[in-house]
């Protein structure tokens, strides 16, 4: 829904992704609006609710995660486009949720095999919504239902037509902060072990400094942490940007780039034309499976 709001209302949208408007049912939209209103001061909440049809848009833009949701999607899809140019033709979306790339894939992705991996309940809901909206799944989209808490990513991919002998691109967005550290390391190792050298991964994380008692985060970040905790999805772990390269190396991956939320916003929203301000402590990193023969900044 945030991507759809951005596509419809931003002066210079970074994405043209309006699928949230079609796929998210009205009952869920209503629940999100009520959740957004509940986090506002009473006076602000009343003003937003009075806006009627655009109230949800305003509420979503006010969410502390809004900018990072947009920025991470654009960064990941730019990296994917560059990977396709290099000949990569498999795309694995880990924790796909309601990602819509397969529904709006650009011309350069016509030969791409897309694998969406997600929990059976979430993926089932998405597939039902596609059917209810009369939207056929593209021929190059492969659904893999898997509970990664009990099944390894490599094992889940082995149940599909995924070819481990061909370089692939992986995206893992908005997930690592909700998992324990060892679960994140296990997934990173699984990607390195099941993907051929030269494969790439883009993933998001939060700076582990946020878990220190003395951490003083921005007001927006603290609102974000509080809101996700209130719905049972508390932040559980992060990475240290200073040691990320070494940790990835131990998992079989080479760090290519690591941007803070502020750096990502500066890259894609120069001058703040779209008003995208990171909530703070957010990072997005790009890594390559070791053995690909590329330089560290390739």
What is the pLDDT, as a whole number, of residue 142? 98
Q: Which two tokens stand for residue 2?
A: 């945030």
Q: Which residues of 58-96 are buried (b: 16+ CB within 10 A; e: fewer)?
A: bbbbbbbbbbbbbbbbbbbbebbeebbeeebbbbbbbbb
Find the mean pLDDT for residues 106-117. 96
Extents of the domains making up the chain: 2-62, 66-289
Q: Which two tokens stand for residue 274?
A: 């779209």
For residue 106, pLDDT beyond 50: yes
pLDDT, one tens digit per residue, over 214-260 is: 676 656 566 665 665 555 567 889 999 999 999 999 999 999 999 99
* 173 close to 204: Cβ distance less than 8 angstroms: yes
Reference 26, options 56, 70, 5, 48; nearest CA is: 56
* 257 close to 287: Cβ distance less than 8 angstroms: no
The angle formed by the CA atoms of residues 63, 92 and 251, to the nearest 5 degrees, is: 90
pLDDT classification of 295: cutoffs 50, 70, 90: very low
Average pLDDT in the chain? 90
Q: Is 280 left (phi over 0), alpha (psi -120 to 50) or beta?
A: left
What is the pLDDT, as a whole number, of residue 48? 84
What is the pLDDT, as a whole number, of residue 297? 39
pLDDT, one tens digit per residue, over 120-167 is: 999 999 999 999 999 999 999 999 999 998 999 999 999 999 999 999
What is the pLDDT, as a whole number, of residue 211? 83
Q: Which fold has domain 66-289?
A: Rossmann fold (3.40.50)
> In this prediction, what percent of the chain has a pLDDT beyond 70?
91
Find the mean pLDDT for residues 79-85. 97
pLDDT, one tens digit per residue, over 169-215 is: 999 999 999 999 999 999 999 999 999 999 999 999 999 988 877 67
Find the mean pLDDT for residues 64-72. 94
- Edge-to-edge, what's the strand order for the sheet holding 169-172? 141-145, 113-118, 90-94, 169-172, 200-206, 282-289, 253-260
């Amino acid at each position: 829904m945030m991507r759809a709001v951005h596509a419809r209302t931003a002066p210079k949208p970074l994405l043209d992704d309006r699928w949230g408007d079609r796929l998210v049912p009205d009952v869920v939209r209503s629940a999100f609006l009520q959740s957004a209103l509940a986090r506002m001061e009473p006076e602000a909440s009343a003003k937003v609710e009075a806006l009627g049809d655009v109230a949800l848009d305003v509420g979503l833009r006010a969410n502390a995660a809004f900018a990072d949701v947009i920025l991470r999607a654009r960064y990941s899809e730019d990296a994917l486009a560059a990977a396709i140019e290099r000949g990569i033709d498999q795309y694995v979306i880990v924790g796909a949720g309601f990602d819509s790339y397969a529904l709006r894939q650009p011309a350069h992705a016509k030969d791409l095999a897309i694998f969406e991996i997600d929990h059976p309940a979430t993926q089932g809901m998405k597939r039902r919504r596609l059917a209810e909206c009369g939207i056929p799944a593209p021929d190059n989209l492969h659904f893999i239902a898997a509970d990664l808490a009990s099944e390894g990513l490599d094992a889940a991919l082995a149940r599909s037509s995924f070819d481990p002998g061909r370089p692939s691109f992986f995206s893992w967005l908005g997930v690592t902060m909700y998992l324990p550290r060892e679960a994140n390391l296990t997934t990173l190792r699984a990607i390195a072990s099941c993907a051929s050298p030269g494969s790439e991964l883009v993933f998001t994380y939060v700076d582990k400094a946020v878990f220190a008692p003395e951490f003083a985060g921005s007001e927006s970040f603290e609102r974000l942490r509080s809101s996700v905790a209130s719905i049972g999805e508390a932040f559980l772990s992060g990475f240290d940007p200073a040691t990320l390269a070494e940790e990835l190396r131990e998992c079989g991956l080479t760090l290519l780039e690591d941007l803070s939320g502020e750096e990502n916003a500066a890259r894609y929203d120069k001058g703040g034309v779209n008003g995208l301000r990171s909530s703070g402590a957010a990072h997005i990193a790009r890594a390559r499976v070791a053995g690909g023969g590329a330089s560290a900044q390739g």
